[in-house]
Amino acid sequence: MNQRPNIVFIMSDDHAAQAISAYGHGINSTPNIDRLANEGMRFDHCYVTNSICAPSRATILTGMHNHLNGVFGLHEHIDNRQPNVAKYLKQGGYQTAIIGKWHLGEGPGHCPTGFDFWSVVPGQGDYYDPTFIEASGEQKDEGYVTDIITDKCLGWLDERDADKPFFLMCHHKAPHRSWHPKAEHRSLYTDPIRVPDTFDDDYKNRAAAAMNAQMRVSHDMNYKDLDIEPHEGKGPRDLIPFPEDVTGFELTCSVTGEVFTFASQDELKRFKYQRYMQKYLQCVHSIDENVGRLLDYLDEQGLAENTLVVYTSDQGFFLGEHGWFDKRFIYEESFRMPFLVRYPEGICAGTICTDMASNVDFAETFLDYAGLPIPRHMQGRSLRPLLEEQTPDDWTEIAYQRYWMHRDDAHNAYAHYGIRTHDHKLIYWYNEGMGVQGTQPGGETPEWELFDLEKDPLELFNVYHDPAYADVVKDMTRRLDVHMLEIGDVPAH
């Protein structure tokens, strides 16, 4: 019997904390994911270093920021020769596996390394009858992707060597767009869902990036993603223009054939939001069920006590806040990651951590629990003292993000970096490309933003130029400079 803990790392794709009931937003119910909060620790301030899929995954694996691991955006593939947490754990006696979404490139130089077993979907993967790539080749599995990923995890656990500890990365593809819920979940969440307070944001008093982002549920959400039949006159990416005048404008549901008409533009906007949330939350429902299956398995096998189980998402997501869907921005909803950890032998049940944590800390945390040295090139810090409610005096007071892709084709999101403390957030929109793939030329002049998170938690008023905040600006800029120097990231300001 091994004494070192097993580690199960469950990560979904684009699952916002607002859609986990343990976080208290009340729009849906996730009783199985909530078990990890009730029986372990909930982190309220865990942040992503770059709010987009591939870079976040690269940081989690390597324990390094993107300027060092080389995955700046969606178009760079990981160089799989570099060290990663799985390689260290395997070398240290763990059995290792990754099953589900990888999204760091395919082929010899980019496929998963450090894993005894890997079975990953190519690119974003499919919701139904997905293809998986393994060391032995490609195969297609029939059924629903979230169920299949869990089946594969349970199958690998069944076949493992019970004398050795294990490290399992269970990476769900859901609830990434386009949302395809499991057939039996399509009747869920049909009651109207509460609209966020900032849904009708006018983007005034903010940097130009907010106004110019093409992430609005009203104008930029693809109707096909909402099960609406594309029809004539559609724009690029199957976008049907958002009509100024809704007279005579109708939409047909591609599943039921139901026809919808609208009394006002506002009604159409809210219709799109409700359809978006229904499908998103239906996909989340399947994830919750499958987290339950995995936790039940650990219970049945007598593994729950000595297994550290994490639930997180590769970043946050806008669920209608500021009128948006998608991610990318350092604004709170996409910056914050859900992060729940259960380890009955070492973490008190029902605890909440309000200290700053980040995805660059995950690899170090796993190595710490495995009793292995943390390599000096890793840039985060083990979260173990926080999980044991012994926060060191010198624990960081800031969280940092840098988003590199400038004015990407899909959402026109601007490149930026910034930091957040518990009280303030400082953002620099440098408004130029830095040679990163997926970057488009042009933009506005550089801009700074400062938000007073105590007075303005919804981040609606940029106070950077308010003389009353001159000292805060000075202090936050100093903190940003020090942090960028520490991690070796080159400033653009």
Q: Is residue 227 a contact point for Ca ion (CB under 5 A)?
A: no
Cα angle 319, 127, 363 (rounded to 5 degrees) comes to 70
Q: Which is nearer to Ca ion, 10 or 268 (CB)?
A: 10
Task: Report, in Å, the least distance between residue 221 CB and Ca ion.
Answer: 17
Lookup: tokens for 202: 């006018």
Task: Count Cβ neighbours within 10 Å for each residue of 448-485 and write b for 16 or more, e otherwise.
Answer: bbbbbeeeeebbbebbbeeeebeebbeebbebbeebbe
Provide, rounded to whole angstroms, the least separation between the CB of residue 51 and Ca ion: 8
Count of beta carbons in the 10 Å neighbourhood of residue 352? 10
Cβ 101 to Ca ion shortest distance, Å? 9
The 46-65 contact track toward Ca ion, x by CB under 5 A, reads -------x------------
Residue 34 contacts Ca ion per CB under 5 A: no
**48 close to 359: Cβ distance less than 8 angstroms:** yes
Alpha helices in 204-352 (DSSP H): 208-212, 217-220, 265-300, 332-335
> Please, what is the minimum distance in Å from the beta carbon of residue 264 to Ca ion?
33
* Residue among 359, 356, 401 nearest 380 (CA): 359
Query: At closest approach, how far in Å is the CB of 14 from Ca ion?
Result: 4
| Distance in Å, CB of 52 to Ca ion, minimum | 7
Which residue's beta carbon is nearest to the bound Ca ion?
53
Which of 55/443 has CB closer to Ca ion?
Answer: 55
CB of 386 to Ca ion, least distance (A): 24
Is residue 201 near Ca ion by the rule CB under 5 A?
A: no
- Dihedral through CA 452, CA 17, CA 62, CA 295, nearest 10? 150
Exactly one of 7, 14, 71, 328 binds Ca ion (CB under 5 A); that residue is 14
Q: Is residue 449 near Ca ion by the rule CB under 5 A?
A: no
H/E segment holding residue 149: helix 145-159
| Separation CA 168–CA 119 (nearest Å) | 12
Q: Is 13 in the site for Ca ion (CB under 5 A)?
A: yes
193 binds Ca ion (CB under 5 A): no
| From 11-19, 265-273, 371-379, 442-450, span contacting Ca ion (CB under 5 A) | 11-19
> Does 463 participate in binding Ca ion (rule CB under 5 A)?
no
Instruction: Indicate whether 215 belongs to the interface with Ca ion (CB under 5 A).
Output: no
Least distance (Å) between residue 280 CB and Ca ion: 13
- Kindly tell me which of 13 and 34 has the beta carbon lying closer to Ca ion: 13
**Closer residue to Ca ion (CB): 13 or 227:** 13
Q: Residue 326, interface with Ca ion (CB under 5 A)? A: no
Among 314, 364, 452, 489, binds Ca ion (CB under 5 A): 314
> Which burial class, exposed, middle or buried, applies to 139 when counting CB atoms under 10 A from its CB (0-12, 13-18, 19+)?
exposed
Q: Which residues pair with 398 in a beta bridge?
A: none
Is residue 333 close enough to count as binding Ca ion by CB under 5 A?
no
Stretch binding Ca ion (CB under 5 A), from 227-235, 302-310, 314-322, 381-389? 314-322
The Cα–Cα gap between 432 and 208 comes to 13
Q: Around Cβ 264, how many Cβ atoms within 10 Å?
A: 10
Task: Work out how close the CB of 53 gets to Ca ion at its nearest, in angstroms, rounded to a whole number.
Answer: 4
Helices (H), 301-389: 332-335, 362-369, 384-387
Closest CB to Ca ion among 178 and 254? 178
The reply to whether 294 sits near Ca ion by the rule CB under 5 A is: no
Q: CA–CA separation, 39 vs 23, rounded Å?
A: 14
Q: Which of 65, 127, 17 is nearest to 363 (CA)?
A: 65
Q: Which residue's structure tokens are 């942040």?
A: 47
- Residue 46 in contact with residue 59, Cβ under 8 Å? no
Contacting positions for Ca ion (CB under 5 A): 13-14, 53, 314
